[in-house]
Amino acid sequence: MKTVRKEFNGKFALQMMFIEKNKNHASELANLAREIGPDEVQIDTSTRPCPVKPLISEDIEKIKSEFEGLNAITVYEAKRPKVEVIDKDEYLRRRPETWKK
């Protein structure tokens, strides 16, 4: 990643996914991010249906505090664009449990 960062001239965003099992490694990962030098660090947790529960916003804010000096944004503060379903049948085929009636 360090090599890619050195050679890439565009905006370089680094996404980091945090769950219960790795949330205590935020300081180490923040130091690694500093070594890489991204333009932005996106601090994420699982928000889609999956077997892993998302971290609460307080945990994510604590994690973000480890990224001091970096341009970090969390999943809970990022603006979400409005998304409209183009093909309802296809959407229902893929994610029937998420359809809002």
Token code pair at residue 21: 């099992």
Write the CA distances from 84 to 71, 81, 87, 99, integer angstroms. 30, 10, 9, 12
Q: Is the pLDDT of residue 63 over 80?
A: yes
Distance separating alpha carbons of residues 83 and 14, to the nearest angstrom: 23
What mean pLDDT comes out for the span 54-65? 97
Q: Is the pTM of this model over 0.85?
A: no
- What pLDDT is recorded for position 101? 58
Provide mean pLDDT across the span 41-56: 92
Which residues, 6 or more positions from 74, have their beta carbon under 8 angstroms from its beta carbon?
42, 43, 44, 57, 60, 61, 63, 64
Mean pLDDT of 55-59: 96
**pLDDT of 48 higher than 90:** no
